[in-house]
Chain A
Amino acid sequence: MKLAVWTYEGPPHVGAMRIATAMTGLHYVLHAPQGDTYADLLFTMIERRGHRPPVTYTTFQARDLGGDTADLFKASAQDAYDRFQPQAMIVGASCTAELIQDDPGGLARSMGLPIPVIALDLPSYQKKEAWGASETFFQLVRHLAVRGEAPRTPRLEGGRPRCNILGPTALGFHHRDDLVEITRLLTQLGVDINVTAPLGASPADLTRLPDADFNVVLYPEIADVAAKWLEKTYGQPMVRTVPLGDGATRDFIREVAELAHLDPEAALANATARQPWWSRSVDSTYLTGKRVFIFGEANRAIAAARVARDEMGFEVVGLGAYNREFAREMRVAAETYGVPALITDDYLEVERAIADAQPELVLGTQMERHIAKRLRVACAVISAPAHVQDFPARYSPQLGFEGANVLFDTWVHPLVMGLEEHLLAMFRDDFEFNDAAGPSHLGQTAAPAPVDVAPEVSAAPAGPAAIIWSPEAKAELAKIPFFVRGKATRNTEAYAAAQGIALIKVETLYDARSHLAR
């Protein structure tokens, strides 16, 4: 048993729903009690979809448990087939139905429906949402993308190379706009899109997957397993670089060009991202070395760390993910930034790690947004789980060159701006323009409460010999603007510990500053 206050991921059958809802002509019959129908609102409310997810729930009740839940399942599946006439059906159980062991796959097969029926085995007590989505997509591809003896549709002599775009789902974090951006990028590069899946694809479309020359995996947590199977089965190589930020988008273009036997130079020369210049322009100098803590879906967090360090000039002081499936990749990445990889789905543990790292900016999920709010640190949301705010009315991709622009704006916006930062430092005691008022462009709601957190924080991570701040040093520390106070506290304490100083005085603060400046 695990105590969970908030969860990063839903159960695996919600992952399956994200695949079913993304597709057309597919229906999901889910053996589940009535309460599980709450999942519909994720799609109709958070994503504002104008259609119900194509899911039929058996909604069995306690009185059914005596014996006829299997019949109930068959009746539901038959009704769903008759009413919706899907091209294919997926069937499975939610957590409760898994316990009553009715075998939805076997029951559905025994009905002899004239369409492919794919049984999903999603262990609810072991796995989570992203895994469920990945497994469901893989099972669909494995069952439907079967050519048998039929030859691949040959590419026309001299025709354009073709790829599949794999990974975008319903309820995906900015998937809608990423897809527009990447489709345009590939098309301009000279690559045709064979099939995009699961978003917008039908079961019939999945049978055409083998026609492509290669696969583009936009979201490895969804499509990696399916793409690996396609690679093994049909020899389709895959592009796995997540095109997040300018640099990764350029790498992505080169990788695609190589597989497609195209020249990437024209596309690279025409790159439209403003983000590199926005970063190089002197106005952004103040971003240099800002301490940033990154947490989210593993692939996204790893890609964001590169953007943070290489394209924004931040210092990555924490890196982690809630999904264990990519723990190995996460550990390798964390090593390159010299930080330990935080792999946990316990948001309280994440909160502790963020408090300890004392970042100036948190790049995380909606959970970290709340953690940051509590710790009075700036935050931008970079990763699933998707929230209603992650479905903006405007075009707002995260991937590709336009995505790089969006990242720059989204990440910089929560911070205090350059000159404002200097003015705050110069006139700390100004009665109306001080750090307690928060960044001026964010309004009153974003203002941090006038609480000096630094001394409290300093008491917590005390080393073997507790370091004490003298009242004078504490007062001097309070004169430093709030957004660098955490950094100053940490540096001074680290310096004091290294020098064996137990009592931090005003001069210790300045000694530390000069020491670290060298």
Chain B
Amino acid sequence: MKTILIADDDTNLALLYEQELTDEGYQVEVVHDARAAIERVQQNPPDLLVLDVHMPGMDGIEALNKILGINNQLPVILNTAYSNHKDNYLTWSADAYVVKSSDLTELKDAIRDVLAKRNEKE
């Protein structure tokens, strides 16, 4: 079973992700800030990280790049309410960029694609 780490400061939204992705057959863990996500990646890396951008303290873009320095094999999906970060060069190392929606179809598709690509690489 693939493990997905969700990093999102919106607890309600994180709960929704956790339920829906668990239903999809993933093992889901949730943290609510970027530092906790980095710590988790360092200690026990998941198979994929879904990373919010706007979080208090360290934002998701800074975390994305720090995580790249720690573990460049970890697939990361940036998941944000704002599409404008997509132009930011600092987000281009993410494996996918998903604009948040109440319908999680796009996120689920992105997770499937990214994990499939990772399997191909391996």
A, B from the same assembly: no
Q: Mark B residues whose CB is within 8 Å of A.
A: none
Q: Mark A residues whose CB is within 8 Å of B.
A: none
